[in-house]
Structures are given as C-alpha cells and as structure tokens.
Structure 1
C-alpha cells in the first residue's frame, strides 16, 4: 500500500517556464551545463548544478557549490520566477515528441515506503553521488529533482489522465522537439481517487532516480521536519 500524496508546488511562473526548464543535472558535464546556462540564463541548472556557474578551479563538491545553489534558489523566489501554490494538489506531466505521448502523475511519496520496499529499487547507488544530493537537499531545504516511478496498469488512473489532459494546461512549451505540458488536478473527486487508487497497488518501482531517492531517505533521517519525510515522485 504505497502512499501518494498531494502537495503545494513551488513552480515557475508560466512566462518563465520554457527558459527555466532543464534536463536532469546528471546528464550534463560541467562545461555542457555552463553552455546551457549561457543560452538560457534563467535555467534551473543554476540551482541543480550550481558548479557550472562558478570558476572551474572550484571543485564540484566544494561547500561553495551548495551555497551558490541555495542563493540561486532563493533569488528565483525573490524575483518571482518561482511561486508557491496556495493549495495542495496533484499534477499531470505529459511529454510528446510528435509520435509518442506519455503522461504521469506528480505527487509526493513516503520515505517510509522507500525504506520498507514498497518503493522498489533495482540499482545500487554510488556514495559520492548520494552525498552530493544529500548536501544539495540540506542546503536548499527542498527536493529539486523528482524520482521517476512506474506502477501497474490502472484503468481509473488512466481515465483521470485522459479527462484532465483534454483540458487546459498550466504549461505548454517545446524544447529540442519534445513538448512539455503540465496540468493541475482541481476536481475534488479526482484528488481523492488518485490517492486511494495508488494505495491499492502493491508497490511503486523506481525507473530513474535511485540516488535522489537514497538521498531523500538520508536527509529525512537527519531532521524531525515532517515535510522531509516525503519526496517528489512522477
């Protein structure tokens, strides 16, 4: 019975979304990330791979990297690029390349479910990458990267996806040939059904993000903050 909970998202203003969006931090080298930030000065990589904004002589695990990430994160909120939703809800994230469309729910999963194997793993993690993400989470007091999860086929969940994605989206932009659309779940019946349907499943399965999930568990063990006992999943 894995839990999948709504949350109040800290998300970009729609007019900044395309310039703010970025691929995951670990698909870029430092120089590739630096180049991407030059092309898109608002890029989320300023937060997620902050070493790309610092001189090359500063090591990637230098404390100044995480301080810089926290500064960029705070500035994005102060400047109104990132704004906090006032309500807790789920979102649907849809990707399309013109020939294939895939959609997933966005919500929060439980550290306890991860530790009791209701969120199932299939990879070992590297200590250095895990330490990096723990330090990142702790400096920002936030999870900046979702875990990609798979779940068993569920007709009721699929029906909700079909209904909501037929309506208006919060974001709709295309980067490198892939269109990104995000929808907010507003209907109360949908909100209740999503949580209850996921609770019927035996488990969720990590498709990508083993290091982020492991880091979330370590960070949670070091604080009594209730919010730290959940992390972002798609």
Structure 2
C-alpha cells in the first residue's frame, strides 16, 4: 500500500483451506489486510497467514466457532482492536454431508445446519453491526441450489437459507453503503468436493461443463475479489460461479 493509504481489512471465515484460503490470498494480493478465521487446524491457519503476509499486507489467524455468537463477537472485537475496523467479511466456512433423505442421519443434518445456517446468520449479524461504510459481506451458497442432485438435500437446504438471507440483509442495510452478496460455486477442485470421488467421476463431472473442466479455487476467488472491492453496484445477489453448469 502506498504511503498514507489506509488498507481495507477483510475477515475470511474458513480461510485456512480450500476456496476460503484462495479468497484470503487473493484479497491480500488486492492489498487488503486479512484475518483468517479457522475451526481447528493451527498448522493450516499459520500457513495461510504466511502466504498472506508474503503479499505485503498484515495478517492474523483467529480460531473461532462461527456458530458461537460470543466467539464471533470476540473475533470482531479482536479485529477492530488490532486492525482498526472491518471492511469486508467473507463467510466461506461450511460443511457438507451427502445422504438420501430416507437415510439421513439427523446428527449430520444438525451439524450442517449449525455451521452453514446458524453460522452464516451469526457472522452476518456481526457483519451488519460492524462493517464500515464502503464495506461488503460475501457469503457462500452452492450451485447445487439449481442443480438439485440426489443426496444433496440437507446441504442444499442450508445453502438455500443463505440465498434467502442475502437480499433481505441487503435491504435492511439501506443507507449504510454496505453490499451483501453470495457466491454459488459449482464443482470446484477442493478437498470438500474431491473427497470420495475417483478420477473417473471427476472427469465425468468436468465433461458435463461447457468449459470442459471443474472450477479452481482461484476461479471463485476472482469473483469474490470483485464483490469485496470494486463491484459496488452488485447488491443483494447470488452470483453463480460455475463455468455454465446447469
């Protein structure tokens, strides 16, 4: 950042791995200071901080359960104290378990909804209270809310909640100069997506896409970067980032 320039400050939940990690590193390259919020893996979080700092910005890692309102409030307190404020919140934390409805383990259902729904609302609530003018909240949905594949019911239900939250919160923040959007990735090369899929399955899924491949975390981070920075006239939207998957 140039002399006298005040850096924007971004908080990225789920920022230690996968798409969240790619988003954190992209925002750092954009010149934003980045706070990585992670659930449990200290090693991954520290590696993410090192990668962010390599871009020449400030970084920190904070361990927090996104569904715990006290922990999330404490997280924002820490960021405001150490970085001066919050301009961007990217809520990339999420979990997935696949099962036909008839066989659904309700403990798994509760875990999905605790992180993906309650967590999204807790983070959004704190973002609504804390984001500075010019700020942005970017949440994560999934292209499965359109693809509607068998065995995804519990996960899709959780992401449909995020899509409903997004335009309502955008309207509630009228006059604040804060945008609220969601991104909905399609099949993307992350551990979350690749787990349990053999090479032939991944190749088949890639072949269904008009672009002839599955997405990369950087594909998604590029769109988040725009929503977290220059794309101020996109508000209350879910942006499907999937190469044309239908």
Q: When the two structures are superposed, what TM-score results if normalisation uses the length of structure 1?
A: 0.29
Q: Which structure's residues are more often strand, by fraction?
A: 1
Higher relative contact order (CA 8 A, sep 6+): 1
Q: When the two structures are superposed, what TM-score results if normalisation uses the length of structure 2?
A: 0.28
